[in-house]
Amino acid sequence: MDNQIDQAEMGVDAPDIAANPGPVRWIGKGVAGLMIVAVAATAFHLHGSGAAPAAAPPPPSVTISAPLQRDIEGRLGFLGQFSAVNRVELRAQVGGTLTQIYFKDGDIVHQGDPLFEIDPEPYRIKLSGATAELESANARLALATRQLARAQELQRAEAGTVENVDQRVAEQRAAQAAVDNANALVRDARFDLDRCRITAPFTGRIGTHLVSKGNLVSGSRAGSGPTTLLATIVSLDPIYLDFDISENDYAAFQRSRGSRQGPLADAVNISPTGDSGFTRVGTLDFIDNTLDRSSGTIHARATISNRDLSLTPGGFARVRLATTAPQPALLVPDAAVLDDQTDHIVYVVDAENVAKPRKVQIGDLRGGLRVIRSGLAPTDRVVIDGIPSVHPGSKISPRAGSIEFSAEQVAEGAKS
């Protein structure tokens, strides 16, 4: 009786329990009936209620502007590495025990400053012996000179012979030669004594000392024998910047040099690592005489003032070389240029406010903007903001904008 009441309440015909014992079939039919009712109710709500379809979204709002026109000079860019104008390995010219080190590792030393000292006592003894020999030679020379004078007097008085005079002349000349030899020995001994103290050959930065006090060092005047490396020193002001130019860039640069004369013809702008821009100016003072066949490049070098000693040999910097006189060019924000596989595109807006991609050829950055070599006209309306919401052929809502040219970034290369 309870089962029949439940079936009636659910609105489902009661199954034939006698013919089909078990509750499973009855429950399945009840659930199916409920699902049918739910689907029908949903369909009625959607189609029978008369609701209006959703409105289309408005076109995206973007900022557009005509390309900026400026006179831009052509230029080439390279990566260079600093090197010292002068670099010296400090080696001993005399041997002995190292007794003094007068600097701290990494100091800036000036020309003539003492750096190392080798025990000078053996060379003082050598100089004293040479000096004594010189005095002895001078005494013999004085005696020979007096003897020659007496022999000449006797000859004039016809009391001496010519043979005696010739003998005294030979003795006087031998004594003079002995004096000259003694003088040379004194200079030699003094040379060795002076080389016991090693001084800075120029102003620069010295490296670490490679030999400590108390060590025995070997030296050679001509460097032919074994010598001990004591330290290295490099000059800092001025400093070289070395870089390589490809064959094509070198040809373009050579063509430009024919029309650009004067002191600025070989000026280069330099941006050392860590600087925000091209903050220094150097002079291109050397280009090699042959191209490297293996790399297809030619070596070049610029000289840069380094009064603040902030540039270090071995560091890197970017280099810019001007190749052509200023010429009209179009510029757009770099963010407005999109990569399309191997090509570059910008979005331009037509008269119906439809965005269309335009393939362009780009150049380098100038004044914070990207140079467009070809593909755009001065009257084109370029999308400069809101680009992520733009799709090819989509309708857009344009608003006028402007492109700013950063004069500071253009003038940065003129700073020294």
At 32 the pLDDT is: 42
More reliable by pLDDT, 170 or 156: 170
Q: How far is 276 from 347, CA to CA, in rounded Å? A: 30
At 185 the pLDDT is: 95
At 240 the pLDDT is: 96
**Per-residue confidence band for 2, with pLDDT thresholds at 50, 70 and 90:** very low
- Give the percent of the chain with pLDDT over 90: 44
Q: How far is 253 from 268, CA to CA, in rounded Å? A: 12
* 3-state class (DSSP) for residue 282: strand
The answer to whether residue 278 scores a pLDDT higher than 90 is no
At 109 the pLDDT is: 94
At 52 the pLDDT is: 54
At 265 the pLDDT is: 61
Lowest mean pLDDT among 74-78, 125-129, 174-178, 205-209: 74-78
The answer to whether residue 175 scores a pLDDT higher than 50 is yes
> Which residue intervals of 157-218 are DSSP H helices?
162-194
Classify burial at 131, counting beta carbons within 10 Å of its beta carbon; exposed 0-12, middle 13-18, buried 19 or more: middle
Q: Token pair for residue 18?
A: 């006698």
Q: Looking at residues 210-235, what average pLDDT do you find? A: 89
More reliable by pLDDT, 258 or 334: 334
Decide: pTM greater than 0.75: no
Q: How far is 343 from 375, CA to CA, in rounded Å? A: 12
At 254 the pLDDT is: 82
At 18 the pLDDT is: 42
Q: Looking at residues 132-159, what average pLDDT do you find? A: 88
Strands 68-72 and 229-234: unpaired
At 44 the pLDDT is: 42
Q: How far is 195 from 126, CA to CA, in rounded Å? A: 13
- Give the percent of the chain with pLDDT over 70: 82
More reliable by pLDDT, 200 or 150: 200
